[in-house]
Amino acid sequence: MPSRFIGALLAARLPVIMEVKRKDGNGVALMGERTIPEIVGEYVATGAPCISVVTGRWFGGDDEMLREAAGLTDLPLLQKDFITREVQIAAAKELGASAILLTAQLLPKSALPKLIELTLGAGLTPFVEVIDEGELSRVTHAAECVIAVNNKDIRNQERDAGDIDVSRVMLEAVLASGTPCPVSASAITDPRVGAELISAGFKGLLIGTGLLRSGSVARWVEEFDEHRAALGAARPVTQ
């Protein structure tokens, strides 16, 4: 069955997965006085094709955030958490997720292929996060997965500032993996940098902190579009 999450991202005029997240890796609140309905509404209004919901407790999340988001929009949702067991995959589907995060860096080598198969078997899209070619080599069924390059270090709960060069270095290998949807994730705050990553060959960006701290998601998107147009990378409107 075709992936609804991948299809939505590839068809989108705006290839940005916008993220709902309560805290950053250092525990600093990101939502302020804004509610989940307000943030989701803003993302929908600015053209997000998919929404990520961070349910991991170290970022202040919980499962009810995903359930609430699913009740607010029909857009495909990604659950970002530390998924290690089959029961969590079933729970993600029940909560309304279309895709789930699988972090190669935090999983035993033998676990990742099994979790990918279980995720696909549940009718969900594996959103597999990698940081190097060794992790990438462990990804099975790449043609049915989103493969995301994480620009931050999950081992320290993403407390670092991040390094966009991780994505730049990994792009060729990720493209060669067979995934239809290579994504650059985390540490993307500057719309110009986001536009450059798409121009280079990424099919999507995952942005949470950068949007939540931007002051105006609509303005961030406007600047992103301006930079893409200047780079000659603007896509035709397909939706």
pLDDT at residue 98 is higher than 50:
yes
Structure confidence by residue, pLDDT tens digits, 62-90:
999 999 999 999 999 999 999 999 999 99
In a domain, 236, yes or no: no
User: Model-level pTM?
Assistant: 0.94
For 85-104, what is the mean pLDDT?
97
Q: Cα 169 vs. chain centroid, distance in angstroms?
A: 19
pLDDT level of residue 157 (50, 70, 90 thresholds)? low
> What is residue 50's predicted lDDT score, i.e. its pLDDT?
98
- Over residues 107-112, the mean pLDDT reads 93
pLDDT-derived band at 233 (thresholds 50, 70, 90) equals very low
The verdict on residue 34 lying in a domain is: yes
Whether residue 103 lies inside any domain: the answer is yes
Q: Which of 86, 36, 54 lies closest to 209, judged by CA?
A: 54
Q: How confident is the model at residue 151 (pLDDT cuts 50, 70, 90)?
A: very high
- Residues of the domain holding 66: 4-231
Average pLDDT of the residues of the chain = 93
Let me know if residue 40 belongs to a domain.
yes
Residue 236 is predicted with a pLDDT of 40
pLDDT above 90: percentage of residues in the chain = 89
The average pLDDT across 91-104 equals: 98
- Report the C-alpha gap between 129 and 30 in whole angstroms: 23
44: alpha, beta or left? (left if phi > 0; alpha if psi -120 to 50):
alpha
What mean pLDDT is predicted for residues 215-232?
A: 96
In a domain, 239, yes or no: no
pLDDT at 238 over 80: no
How many separate domains does the chain show?
1
Distance CA 43, CA 46 (A): 5
Q: Is residue 195 part of a domain?
A: yes
Average pLDDT of the segment spanning 103-131: 96
Residue 238 domain-assigned? no
Mean pLDDT of the region 157-185: 91
120 and 108 Cβ atoms separated by less than 8 Å: no
Res 27 pLDDT > 90: no
Rounded distance, CA 211 to CA 208, Å?
Answer: 6
Q: What is the CATH number of the domain that holds 143?
A: 3.20.20.70
Q: Is residue 173 part of a domain?
A: yes
**Distance of alpha carbon 7 from alpha carbon 229, whole angstroms:** 23
For the chain, the helix, strand and coil percentages under 3-state DSSP, each to the nearest 5: 45, 15, 40
The pLDDT of 123-144, averaged and rounded, is: 97
Weakest-pLDDT range from 40-44, 226-230, 235-239: 235-239
Q: Are 50 and 75 in contact (CB under 8 A)?
A: yes
